[in-house]
Structure 1
């Protein structure tokens, strides 16, 4: 029995499912989670000493790679002063100034402790600003586990208020309506049937929680137009895309300006943190200056702010990182696509910049319904094979792959070799 297996045996006795987040569970692919001991650059190492090329990147924030020396040293220095004060600090002011001075659509920002908290707070202030209650989200877009956002991703465009989790009262979600990603007509229908009642449309500008599903041309622009025409705020959930697709996130990448934006772990360089920001007239409604209450005892934690600001400054100073990530993403994901085409494997590859997914389906994946056509059992076989070849992927068909600046040519070559080896092996047995 491996150390990871022994740790999992211990974990399931004290932690629900043996993991502190469902995304870490390996149950869907019939494996035991690998318990990670350390990480460096593009590689992680488990407690059994196995080395993997990592395409999870702590679910996105390690855009510069793991254990970046400049960030590690800045954090160690900050720790010498103390870990937490529960009081205002200089570093949180510097973080807010840096983001607002460099992201044109953010005039004010509030730090929180997670992406979930950022979304929950952004929706609250949107309701406070508009005086309306209803929210439109999209099937397959994940916005954290607050009650109002846990609405059945499989619901039809006209269905609303169906909780997607036990313990969520229907009353908490009855004002949440679900539209179809990449389908403007579904949004228009909801707006027309709920005139004067919708506070905000919230969207992952690039779907990254149903696998990677980019917006079709005109979709985000159309949302902006529909929101403007109906007095509705547009919220970009950039927990995944923020500071990753471009320094200004998806808003910069696509040239579409949201009213509010939410960020997650990337602004903490992987430490627990989140933020929401936008126009000053909206953000000034937040307590203590406004009527919308939101608080967080540890928000703006000095260690997380130090780590995050160090990373953001590095990204700003080295803008070429984004060009490099685009090039590496193209090489990796186009390479996978060419291999699948060569062997006529019934799979699709979606990618945008450093984000990508392999879908085990013959359908073009443009929304949640088409993503659900994927053969999850085939993905499980693929995942296990890749893991055996030292390639660390998310243990779910519906999660993204993340490239970092630390991924080099050798990493990409090894990954493409493993993909081709898998496709040859399993195509011969007709399991693909």
Structure 2
């Protein structure tokens, strides 16, 4: 297949700027003057020349220009197959026509109306709540971090307790309460956490407890000692690259119910990815609160907190000034463009066969990559379940964070950089995603690119 003829926009842009004899995918050393100027400006404008907390190696970085489906092009015209997908937000792929139309139609009617009622937000609530098993009430936010922050506040107010328990290696956003033991390089002693960033007050650290994922016995021991102080347990049903052991999520549910602790299921990643009912349907677990972001926004900044009405109704604004009222607000909550994109996303995901197809494609991806790596005797294990996939230098699927960091992560980082140079965009040292628009052609070219990367890596 001629890669230059794929997609919309300017179909000849990639081939027009690619080097003579270079691979169809990847940078191949090609950086245009336009992209270099953008790099130079970014270095002057942004800390570390980056928009956020992630940066790529200097010889593998790029400036995103446009995307279509499962692929995107950088400012030099180089083409990539995307397995990052905006950290999983682009489950429908880039520039999905249904989302384009929905957003364009909404723009003509208005973009936002502050955090007051608007028709689009109400329609979205009506649409998503039947799919969220715990949802008796819902409140829209602007991102997953926003959602987890507000869920924690609601839980503290509801229980009258202050401490929160999370699991080592879990990511729940960027706020202070989340940035404890998210990716510790040095393990702490449970239940004490390790700050992931400077600037977190010691008092916040004292309010957070940490337990090992997939270890219900240790969790039960911690709760037996500290339950009277714990307002909530917040848990990712699939913690980055760690899948729960059978019964683990149910054990967390039972323990939280036993001690009157609020269970917050962080579905920012899993929500609407593992079926229309997310992890609650996939794993058959019903929390007290659930948090959302990524897919629910259709690529625009929409998140949500959903859950029991007795907890959620603490945020009823008619109760301002009364004991027990919980303030929850944001200028861009219920943003009409985002809600329009969300409704279009639901239109697509509710179509028959969507999830069967993406699950099958992900299985083929994992199987094909494993064959490539085994052929080169790299010692890499490809694993995962559903529309996420992972790989490590290991011979067994890890069960907790400490088993992840016990693998050769530095060597993996080197290999991942080569994969990127070959045109496969993956999130370094983290989960990878697949969209509903990845095709068999994408997979075949992925295997070819992985083979090239493996040959270079072995030199």
More displaced stretch, 412-421 vs 258-267: 412-421
Alignment of 1:279-290 (within 5 A): 279-290=308-319
Cross-structure match for 1:409: 440
* Residue of structure 1 in register with 2:151 after alignment: 122
Structure 2 match to 1:421: 452
The alpha-carbon deviation at position 30 of structure 1 amounts to 4.6
The structure 1 residue matched to 2:235, chosen from 203, 212, 215, is 203
CA distance in structure 1 between the aligned counterparts of 2:195 and 2:338, rounded to whole angstroms: 33
The 8 Å contact of residues 271 and 278 in structure 2, kept in 1 or not, is answered as yes
Q: Deviations over 1:54-100 (max 9, x none)?
A: 11111112112111111101101111122222132111111111111
Q: Could you tell me how far apart the structure 1 residues matched to 2:395 and 2:130 are? A: 45
Matched, 1:299 2:333: yes
How far residue 16 of structure 1 moved from its aligned partner, in angstroms, is 0.9
Q: Secondary structure at the match of 1:148?
A: coil
Distance 1:207 1:85 in 2: 36
- Would the aligned equivalents of 1:329 and 1:355 in 2 still touch at CA under 8 Å? yes
CA deviation map 1:190-231 (0-9, x unaligned): 1011132211111110012xxx11111111111111111111
- SS of 2:287 mapped into structure 1: coil
Q: CA RMSD in A?
A: 1.7
Aligned to 1:179: 211
Do structure 1's residue 358 and structure 2's residue 387 form an aligned pair? no
1:384 alignment counterpart? 417
Q: Is contact 2:60-2:417 (8 Å) kept? A: no
Among 164, 168, 180, the alignment partner of 2:196 is: 164
User: Which stretch shows the higher mean deviation, 323-332 or 343-352?
Assistant: 343-352
- State the match for 2:101 in structure 1: 73
Q: Deviations over 1:153-204 (max 9, x none)?
A: 4343524254321111111221110111111122112101113221111111
Equivalent residues of 2:124, 2:339 under 8 A apart: yes
Structure 2: gaps spanning 5 or more residues: 1-30, 320-324
CA displacement at 1:368 relative to structure 2: 1.0
Which of 44, 54, 66 lines up with 1:13 in the alignment? 44
Moved segments of 4+, more than 4 Å: none
CA offset at residue 271 of structure 1?
0.6
- Name the residue aligned to 1:43: 71
How many equivalent residue pairs?
A: 419
Summarize the alignment of residues 170-319 of structure 1 with structure 2, pairs less than 5 Å apart. Answer: 170-208=202-240, 212-290=241-319, 291-316=325-350, 318-319=351-352
Can you list the C-alpha shifts for 1:307-332, whole angstroms capped at 9, x where unaligned?
1111012212x141111111011110
**DSSP-derived class of the 1:147 partner:** coil
- SS of the residue 1:117 aligns to: helix
Greater shift after overlay, 161-170 or 243-252?
161-170
Pairwise CA distance, 1:266: 1.2
Range moving further from structure 2, 84-93 or 255-264: 84-93
Aligned partners of 2:188 and 2:194 also within 8 Å: no
What's the offset of the Cα at 1:362?
4.1
Offset at residue 424 of structure 1 (A): 4.3
Q: For residue 138 of structure 2, what is the aligned residue in structure 1?
A: 109
Q: Which residue of 1 aligns with 2:90?
A: 62
Give per-residue Cα distances to partners, 1:358-402, cap 9 Å, x unaligned.
1133453221111112323322332232223222212x11x2111
